[in-house]
Amino acid sequence: MSSLQQLVGDWSGERRTFRVSWGKAMMWIFLLSDTFIFGSFLVGYMVARMSTTVPWPVPSEVFALTVGGATVPLLLIAIMTFILITSSGTMAMAVNYGYRKSRKVAAALMVTTALLGASFVGMQAFEWSKLIEEGVRPWANPMGASQFGAAFFMITGFHGLHVSIGVILLLVVANKVRRGDYQASGDYGIVETAGLYWHFVDLVWVFIFAFFYLW
């Protein structure tokens, strides 16, 4: 076999060259492109915030909740963040049990992760409804700079869409794992691939949390 044929053979064998499946490789490429999109959004947000002459809303006031007559700043956001971080832990455990071929445990942990993600989206919808009741719109904001509404709804909405897609993805993969679709081949790498997506969504939220709620 010539060196050229050997090279072609190495590259055509998806696991021989890089020891990674095509599914995982494509997920990494997708996440890299998504990183550029979220990065562009956050840079645009910083530019809009620093260039406006109108006072920017104070996060601790905008996102405060009233509990028992007391105002608690960022309470809902703290709960949302805790839920998403917890879901990263359950997803990591699902990947671990997947490679151990404990399909029932892995599927149960993936469903748990999906439920936590759905809870996050539900809380985000409540947060949106609260701001809309207070008059915040993509084109207007009674609390300060009008750019706040446009940036907030666009970036958190785009992230919420990713979480929603992740919930569906996890439920589909969990069902396949539970049924034993991957048992014959013993390849549970799809669980790790789904986990990569979920961990990326969680990581993006850390930046959104810092930019919108702490800055």
Rg (CA), the chain: 21
pLDDT of 154 > 90? The answer is yes
Give residue-wise pLDDT tens across range 86-118.
999 999 999 999 888 888 999 999 999 999 999
Give residue-wise pLDDT tens across range 38-65.
999 999 999 999 988 888 888 888 888 7
pLDDT attached to residue 16? 46
Lowest mean pLDDT, pick from 59-68, 163-172, 181-190: 181-190
pLDDT attached to residue 14? 46
Give residue-wise pLDDT tens across range 13-31.
544 445 667 778 899 999 9
pLDDT of 9 > 60? The answer is no
Task: Please give the Cα distance from 135 to 141 (Å, whole number).
Answer: 6
Task: Please give the Cα distance from 165 to 159 (Å, whole number).
Answer: 10
Per-residue DSSP letter, 72: E
pLDDT bin (cut points 50, 70, 90) of residue 3 is low
Nearest to 190 by CA among 128, 103, 122, 116: 103
Report which of residues 71 and 149 the model is more confident about.
Answer: 149
Q: Give the residue extent of every domain in the chain.
A: 3-214
- For 3-214, CATH gives 1.20.120.80
pLDDT attached to residue 66? 74
Q: Residue 209: in which H helix or E strand, if any?
A: none
pLDDT attached to residue 117? 97
User: H helices within 13-140, ranges in order?
Assistant: 14-18, 22-51, 59-62, 75-99, 103-133
pLDDT attached to residue 15? 46
Mean pLDDT of the chain: 86
pLDDT of 132 > 80? The answer is yes
Per-residue DSSP letter, 67: E
Q: Give whole-number Cα distances, 26 to 20, 31, 170, 194, in Å.
A: 10, 9, 17, 12
pLDDT of 139 > 50? The answer is yes
Q: Give the mean model confidence (pLDDT) for residues 153-180.
A: 94
Locus of tokens 């509990």: 67
Could you give the maximum distance between any two Cα atoms of the chain, in Å? 80
